[in-house]
Amino acid sequence: MPLVPSSMLLRLAEEGNFALPAFNVPVPEFILWILEESEKLRSPVVIQVAPVEYQALDLRMFYGTLLFLSERFLIPFAFHLDHAREEKEVLFALRNGCSSVMIDGSRLPFEENVALTRRVVILAHSAGVLVEGELGRVGGLEGDEAEDGDSFTAPLEAEEFVQRTSVDLLAVAVGTRHGFYDRTPELQFDLIEEIRCRTRLPLVLHGGSGTPQEELQKAVVRGVRKINFSTALRAEYLQAFRSFVEEHPGDVAVHRMLPSLAFRVKEVVRECIIASLAQGRV
């Protein structure tokens, strides 16, 4: 199946009451491994890249890889821009294949977040592209700043934010964190339910890595429709890389390393898909 719009996958998730596993890809080979495991589990999937990730590699390289691989796989998959903080980043993504974008104004005061998100919605909707906004503060490391604390999403503010911005998805702070956890996360299920009830929007969890599978699945049942995964895949990739180098000192044949890296990353992808209740959906 060809690369499809994010809106198509979101409809599948709403109708089937599951979440879309959304994977950040720091290098293009991650895309192949994610799609291979997703095909095996018959799961739709979102491939996403944040500006902090494509600074070293051109965004068009990721889009080109997705277009090429769309001829090979039967599962539907979409391309998403994660954690944009400026309108110019969104515009670049619209020109290079993203069918949904996230504008992250969560560090801004409420009124400024509303204004920025509303401008991006107008821009993206004119191109038929979905917009994910964020309200509240998901703590931890996002890759480009010092660690910040949590600030849970307030349901009344979420309702107002959605009404004033017309976003299509809402990323919420309900107990997950970016990066590595220093404690077992405890999701606020009552908060998820209230935000979902007030906004009637698909909700997004950032920081899915490290959150217990049963916690994520309970969140999905309560209205989470997209879960972001990044740290778990990267950590497994780097550990597998280190292991290979230690076991094969002086070996510079990279092609011999790739199968072991792929195997380890795919194991994590499988766990994330199951945590999202997305297996067997297509």
Q: Are 121 and 165 in contact (CB under 8 A)?
A: yes
Residues in the chain: 282
Catalytic pick from 82, 104, 148, 150? Answer: 82
**Tokens 């204004």 found at:** 115
**Tokens 């994610």 found at:** 34
Q: Are 119 and 108 in contact (CB under 8 A)?
A: no
CB-based contacts of 69: which residues, under 8 Å, 6+ apart? 31, 32, 35
82 tagged catalytic: yes
Buried b (16+ CB within 10 A) or exposed e, 127-145: eebbbbbbbbebbbebbee
Q: Which of 29, 94, 11 is nearest to 66 (CA)?
A: 29
Beta bridge partners of 103: 84
Burial of 75 (0-12, 13-18, 19+ CB in 10 A): middle
Catalytic residues: 82
